């Protein structure tokens, strides 16, 4: 039976739809100022032509601000996804696409309001002991990349029997020995720095807004600073420095010249969801073992952690949507949503055509059905109803502070002051939760179930997708695994 749909009475809905969809800046709707888009998405192993379509059809309309794509440079050949992380040359030719396709992607994404961040693999070259030929035809040997690097351009640490990192407790090993046999560039050398800088400049000339520095922990922070110091002001630098307990190299060393992926965020959140016991972080803005909020890129999982340490991944369905919703509802850091493909074999690459090029369809916006995914199917997390709804919620929450949360049974929720309320139930039983709020009385669309309700051509939601606010309290009825979220622009007439 079709469900009755209740429409929002927003005169400005059309204007907001346009501004929420494409806004590179904040916008005012009626008297409400919404925040600028800031959320990123990592589209793992997706070809440039599909990324361009995603920007136009999903990312721009949903209000994603940026997309992190997989490494673009020529790499070793092979079926595994991680061949992308073994550069053979800095030619932008790979099984994800050609140089022309890469440039077309950045232009189309920019047009859709989405900046492209490239994944720069500059700590090392290949980990192959035998000579070979790269994807685009470049010949190489472990320490020899004709026209680019010769043996003297690499570290040969001499600290371990095979020059591999054996002890993360040694800064010298971490930064001068080889990460899993990958030929380690001597980034203290002016010639090496100059070549890496030229590659990053080339990526910028192709239209990227910034770069992820892969394996930044293995490059001395001073070397990264020297390399990126030559790039135009405003270039975003996102360093991958996995926080390791007791290790000498710490993420804080990389914050003076850019942002850092903060691994502690997911390590804090996932066990709470698993245990069904959520507690407030320190709401003063300081969080233990986190880089400062304005330097932190936070995430639930990424392509490494979903194959390893991640406590929650796409396989968890509702719980994963919940983790992402709580991250998007938070007022800490810059979130990046992760969207890859289903796998059972850790090494399995994304599906390819007869020529070995990755092929992938664009995602359809809709609910998550992770139980139906076969190996190689895209998870399409960025197009899930709950994620798109929370992106709108986050912009309405804007800079409103996160207020102390409340819990009841397994349910937990909190308000972003005067703007928006979120509630979750990670437990196995139905729960009811009353969250104190200063939102006006009324019935609100739940953007987790309904998706974005304002930035929609016919703003509104079904009767069973609403939450009641009365007398300073939002009343949530939450099924096991359910997340629910309302914001001030989603009040029904
Ligand atoms: C492949 C093969 C290898 C082969 C090699 C060369 O798998 O057997 O020797 O080729 O032929 C990716 C794949 C690798 C692949 C590589 C090259 O993941 O399997 O090797 O491409 O094709 C460290 C680094 C970090 C790195 C991570 C994987 O610090 O930078 O290892 N991530 C990036 C990329 C990644 C990529 C590379 C770097 C290389 O995102 O996809 O590798 O370009 C501790 C340390 C971390 C360390 C981990 C893993 O982490 O702190 O620094 O990461 O161990 O060794 C707890 C602890 C935490 C610990 C964590 C481990 O939470 O608190 O300290 O667990 O999960």
Nearest residue (CA) to ligand 1, atom 26: 215
- Determine whether the shortest distance from the Cβ of 338 to ligand 1 is under 6 A: no
Please identify, by atom number, the ligand 1 atom nearest to the C-alpha of residue 308.
66
> CA 18 to CA 61: how far, in whole Å?
9
* CA end-to-end distance (rounded Å), the chain: 24
Longest dimension (CA), the chain: 72
CATH 3.20.20.80 maps onto the chain at 40-261+341-378
Q: Catalytic: which of 119, 214, 259, 431?
A: 214
A 10 A CB-CB count for 76 gives 21
In the chain, residues under CATH classification 2.60.40.1180 are 406-487
Contact between residue 126 and residue 88 where contact means Cβ atoms under 8 Å apart: yes
What is the model's pLDDT at position 1? 54
The pLDDT tens digits for 287-334 are: 999 999 999 999 999 999 999 987 999 999 999 999 999 999 999 999
Provide the pLDDT for residue 8: 78
Strand pairing partners for 69? 43
Ligand 1 within 6 A of CB of 378: no
Phi, psi (rounded to 5 degrees) for 213: -90, 105
pLDDT at 15: 47
pTM: 0.97
CB of residue 85 inside a 6 A radius of ligand 1: yes
Using an 8 Å Cβ cutoff, are 410 and 431 in contact?
yes
Q: Does the domain formed by 406-487 have CATH 2.60.40.1180?
A: yes
Could you list the mean pLDDT of each consecutive 10-residue stretch along the chain, which spans 493 residues?
70 48 56 90 98 98 97 98 98 98 98 98 98 98 98 98 98 98 98 98 98 99 98 98 97 98 98 96 90 98 94 96 98 98 98 97 92 96 97 96 97 98 97 98 96 80 95 98 97 92
Residue bearing the CA closest to ligand 1, atom 57: 244
Determine the CATH number of domain 40-261+341-378.
3.20.20.80
pLDDT at 9: 67
* CA–CA distances in Å: residue 305 to residues 263, 310, 349, 468: 9, 5, 16, 38
> Which residue puts its alpha carbon closest to atom 52 of ligand 1?
242
Paired sense of beta strands 40-43 and 411-416, if any: unpaired
Residue nearest ligand 1's atom 9 by CA: 180
Centroid of ligand 1 to alpha carbon of 251 (angstroms): 16
pLDDT at 140: 98
Q: Report the DSSP beta bridge partners of residue 67.
A: 41, 116
Catalytic status, residue 240: yes
Please tell me the predicted confidence (pLDDT) of residue 284: 85
What per-residue confidence (pLDDT) applies to 4? 76
In the reported structure, the alpha carbon of residue 407 is separated from the centroid of ligand 1 by a whole-number distance in angstroms of 38
Which residue, judged by its Cα, is nearest atom 65 of ligand 1? 309
Catalytic entry in 74, 178, 240, 318: 240
pLDDT of residue 11: 43
Strands 115-120 and 66-69 turn out to be parallel
Is there an atom of ligand 1 within 6 Å of 240 CB?
yes
Q: What is the pLDDT, as a whole number, of residue 286?
A: 83
Mutate to test the pocket of ligand 1, among 45, 131, 179, 297 (most ligand atoms within 8 A of CB): 179
Find out whether the beta carbon of 487 lies less than 6 Å from any atom of ligand 1. Answer: no
């Amino acid at each position: 039976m079709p469900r009755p749909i209740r429409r929002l009475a927003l005169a400005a809905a059309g204007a907001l739809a346009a501004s929420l969809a494409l806004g590179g800046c904040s916008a005012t709707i009626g008297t409400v100022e919404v925040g600028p888009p800031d959320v990123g998405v990592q589209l793992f192993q997706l070809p440039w032509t599909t990324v361009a379509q995603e920007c136009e059809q999903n990312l721009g309309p949903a209000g994603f601000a940026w997309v992190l794509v997989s490494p673009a440079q020529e790499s070793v050949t092979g079926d595994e996804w991680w061949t992308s992380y073994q550069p053979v040359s800095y030619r932008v030719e790979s099984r994800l696409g050609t140089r022309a396709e890469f440039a077309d992607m950045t232009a189309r994404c920019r047009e859709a309001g989405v900046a492209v961040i490239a994944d720069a693999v500059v700590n090392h070259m290949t980990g192959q002991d035998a000579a070979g030929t790269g994807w685009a035809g470049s010949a190489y040997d472990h320490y020899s990349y004709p026209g680019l690097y010769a043996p003297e351009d690499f570290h040969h640490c001499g600290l371990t029997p095979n020059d591999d990192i054996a002890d993360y407790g040694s800064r010298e090993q971490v930064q001068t020995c080889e990460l899993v046999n990958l030929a380690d560039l001597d980034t203290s050398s002016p010639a090496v720095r100059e070549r890496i800088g030229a590659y990053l400049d080339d990526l910028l000339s192709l239209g990227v807004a910034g770069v992820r520095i892969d394996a930044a922990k293995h490059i001395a922070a001073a070397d990264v600073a020297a390399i990126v110091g030559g790039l135009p002001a405003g270039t975003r630098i996102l360093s991958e420095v996995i926080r390791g307990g007791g290790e000498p190299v710490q993420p804080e060393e990389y914050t003076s010249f850019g942002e850092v992926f903060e691994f502690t965020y997911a390590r804090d959140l996932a066990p709470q969801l698993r245990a069904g016991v959520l507690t407030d972080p320190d709401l003063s803005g300081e969080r233990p073992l986190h880089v400062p909020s304005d330097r932190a890129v936070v995430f639930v999982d990424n392509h490494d952690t979903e194959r390893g340490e991640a406590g929650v991944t796409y396989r968890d369905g509702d719980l994963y949507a919940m983790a992402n919703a709580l991250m998007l509802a938070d007022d800490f850091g810059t979130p990046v949503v992760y969207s890859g493909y289903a796998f059972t074999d850790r090494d399995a690459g994304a599906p390819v055509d007869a020529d070995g090029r990755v092929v992938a369809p664009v995602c359809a916006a809709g609910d998550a059905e992770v139980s139906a995914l076969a190996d190689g199917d895209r998870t399409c997390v960025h197009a899930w109803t709950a994620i798109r709804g929370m992106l709108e919620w986050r912009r309405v929450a804007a800079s409103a502070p996160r207020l102390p949360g409340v819990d009841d049974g397994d349910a937990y929720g909190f308000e972003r002051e005067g703007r928006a309320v979120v509630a979750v139930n990670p437990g196995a039983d139905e729960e009811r939760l009353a969250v104190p709020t200063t939102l006006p009385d009324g019935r609100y669309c739940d953007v987790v179930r309904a998706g974005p309700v304002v930035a929609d051509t016919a703003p509104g939601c079904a009767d069973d997708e609403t939450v009641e606010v009365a007398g300073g309290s939002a009343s949530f009825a939450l099924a096991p695994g359910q997340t629910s979220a309302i914001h001030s622009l989603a009040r029904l007439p």
